[in-house]
Amino acid sequence: MKYILLVILTLFTGLQVFAQQGNQLEDNKVYSFVQKKAEPKEGFQDFYVNFINEFKIDELPKNDKELIFKLKFVVEKDGSFSDIQILDDKNGVGKEAIRVLNKMPKWNPAQHNGKIVRSVYTIPIKVGGKKMKNNKTVNKKFDDKLIDKIVLDKTIETEEFKFKCNCSFYKESKNSRINQTAKSYELNDYRGMYSIIIQNNPEKKHIPNFDELLTFENLVGGKKYINLDGIKAFQISNEDSYRKDYNVIIMFMKGDNLIDIQINTEDKSLTEFLVNDFIKTFKLKI
């Protein structure tokens, strides 16, 4: 009888250990398909802008107008990155891409069956053919004396808007689910970006109350109303010490469209110069 009890106890204990091991394996599983995908906390638009701004190369090979490669990585439960791989790395920029990704803020992790899980993610990266941060023509610390020498004489014009800058088209992305189109333009001589995001017929809950934002204490930065092409627009300016850049966001409603304009560089005085000129030259066509 004792022998039978001992066998049953041993079997039960073994099953418990097996179950615990199974749970541990399940907890460590990396999912390829999940009910809710991992995503950047700041949104994909800002993630791509910040990634490209941080990316450092001297310049592209003569016959290449841009670098195109894929990043494959695991988003951990805490939003950090692991097992980073570079796919289609024809120009040997893998180490730099890994360095930049590890500098990005943590993501919101994936969820599956109501639980936070590890997941694999693959994203395409496209770097335009402008000389980047390590090139001697690009100033990491912008000299205020150079402001007077900047000429913003290139007109950017689309069906929705136009403005002047010293920049070039970078990319356009669309989110049909929320009727949103984002167009980005990168500076030609310095590290920085213009992004103009237009959302048609946004849900009422997604339209900011700008009067409340103006007095909202948790929204850090310089806040004010400005006149942009005859439109009352909300502007907020802030410095991101983590990425070491200075951002200005301008938002307003025009008809059924929510417009979000973002201008950022590594230097406060440069960003403010670009914003002031943008306000003078921007025209909305919708």
Listing DSSP states for 78-91 in one string gives TS-EEEEEEES-SS
Looking at 128, 162, 186, the residue that finishes a domain is 128
What are the distances in angstroms from CA 184 to CA 100, 195, 214, 262, 284?
A: 20, 4, 26, 9, 16
Indicate if 153 and 277 belong to the same structural domain.
yes
Looking at 128, 163, 198, the residue that finishes a domain is 128
Q: Which of 236, 258, 250 is nearest to 282 (CA)?
A: 250
Identify the band that residue 45 occupies on the pLDDT scale cut at 50, 70 and 90. confident
- CATH number of the domain bearing residue 255: 3.40.1000.10
Identify the band that residue 260 occupies on the pLDDT scale cut at 50, 70 and 90. very high
Task: Look at residue 59 in the predicted model and tell me its pLDDT.
Answer: 61
Indicate if 168 and 246 belong to the same structural domain.
yes
* Residue 4 counted as domain residue: no
Indicate if 224 and 255 belong to the same structural domain.
yes
What are the distances in angstroms from CA 173 to CA 32, 38, 261?
A: 24, 19, 15
Task: Look at residue 159 in the predicted model and tell me its pLDDT.
Answer: 93
* Residue 254 counted as domain residue: yes
Indicate if 166 and 277 belong to the same structural domain.
yes
Indicate if 251 and 162 belong to the same structural domain.
yes
Looking at 128, 153, 170, the residue that finishes a domain is 128
Strands 192-200 and 167-175 come out as unpaired
* Residue 26 counted as domain residue: no
* Residue 268 counted as domain residue: yes
Higher pLDDT, 88 or 232: 232
Higher pLDDT, 134 or 267: 267
Identify the band that residue 132 occupies on the pLDDT scale cut at 50, 70 and 90. very low
Mean pLDDT of the chain: 81
User: Which residues contact residue 3 at a Cβ distance below 8 angstroms, ignoring those fewer than 6 apart?
Assistant: none
Indicate if 188 and 156 belong to the same structural domain.
yes
Q: CA neighbours within 13 Å on the CB side: how many for 138?
A: 22
- pLDDT (tens digit per residue) in 196-255: 999 999 888 888 899 988 888 877 788 999 999 999 999 999 876 555 678 899 999 999
Indicate if 195 and 115 belong to the same structural domain.
no
Indicate if 87 and 178 belong to the same structural domain.
no
Indicate if 176 and 76 belong to the same structural domain.
no
* Residue 32 counted as domain residue: no
- Amino acid in the structure at residue 259: I
Domain of 122 in residue numbering reads as: 39-128
Token look-up 């180490």 returns 95
Task: Look at residue 25 in the predicted model and tell me its pLDDT.
Answer: 53
* Residue 205 counted as domain residue: yes
What are the distances in angstroms from CA 6 to CA 2, 14, 151?
A: 6, 12, 87
- pLDDT (tens digit per residue) in 100-122: 999 999 999 999 888 999 999 88
Indicate if 88 and 151 belong to the same structural domain.
no
* Residue 229 counted as domain residue: yes
* Residue 11 counted as domain residue: no
Indicate if 46 and 164 belong to the same structural domain.
no
Task: Look at residue 122 in the predicted model and tell me its pLDDT.
Answer: 86
Indicate if 198 and 103 belong to the same structural domain.
no
Higher pLDDT, 233 or 174: 233
Identify the band that residue 74 occupies on the pLDDT scale cut at 50, 70 and 90. very high
Global pTM value: 0.54
- CATH number of the domain bearing residue 57: 3.30.2420
Task: Look at residue 133 in the predicted model and tell me its pLDDT.
Answer: 40
pLDDT > 60? residue 18: no
Mean pLDDT of 31-46: 84
Token look-up 């090139």 returns 135
Q: How many domains does the structure of the chain reveal?
A: 2
